[in-house]
Amino acid sequence: MPKVSEEYREARRDEITAAALRRFATKGYRGTSMSDIITESGLSAGAIYGHFAGKEQLFAAVAERILGARAVELTELRADHGPLAPGEIMATIIDGMRRDAIAPTMFLQVWSEAAIDPSVRTLVHSFLGPVRDLLRRLVAEWAAAHPERAHEDPAEYARRVVPVLMGLAPGFMVQSTLLDDFDADAYLDTVRRLVPS
């Protein structure tokens, strides 16, 4: 039997993750079954379970895919411009999620389920923890480069500011999903101006 290359395995995982993302976005986390994902992917159950043990693992892969893309964007922006202002960091994350049109709806559904389901809450913590850590590092770096703006120890500044920054993304997602007259560009512009460079 021929050996499957790592590139092939990664391509198949990406294909399955994309199918899961589409189903989670339309049916929610709770409303999506593994059977739904199998149908959406067009693959066999064996092909799916050969890569993912179940729905929770698939959702973690979906969240990692979306948030991992944001981390890459921030890393590239930071390489080009040096330490990023807190507002620029969040505007970059939010704008990336906006471009990934499925993400806002999907995250809203999962957050609402996390409020009532401890296993979903644990899952949400597993992907928000690394995001929070990344934000703390980036904000502390900016604070160290701008002591005249931060006015305190960079790590302490980041500890206080990051929870507020993280609240901006759900605000964007709720309004962009539910309000027909929501001005996404104005929101992002205002986020950038909240803590300018």
pLDDT digits (tens, 9 = 90+) for 92-129: 999 988 887 666 777 788 888 888 989 888 988 888 88
- Quote the pLDDT of residue 189: 94
- Quote the pLDDT of residue 36: 94
> What's the pTM value of the predicted model, to 2 decimals?
0.81
Q: Which residues of the chain have pLDDT under 70?
A: 1-4, 101-103, 196-197
Per the domain annotation, does 115 fall within a domain?
A: yes
CATH of the domain at 145: 1.10.357.10
Find out whether 28 and 62 touch, Cβ atoms under 8 Å: no
3-state helix, strand, coil in the chain (%, to 5): 80, 0, 20
Q: How far apart are CA 113 and CA 11, in angstroms?
A: 30
Q: How far apart are CA 92 and CA 134, in angstroms?
A: 13
Per the domain annotation, does 38 fall within a domain?
A: no
- For residue 61, give its domain range: 55-194
Per the domain annotation, does 63 fall within a domain?
A: yes
The count of structural domains within the chain is 1
Per the domain annotation, does 142 fall within a domain?
A: yes
- Quote the pLDDT of residue 165: 94
Per the domain annotation, does 156 fall within a domain?
A: yes
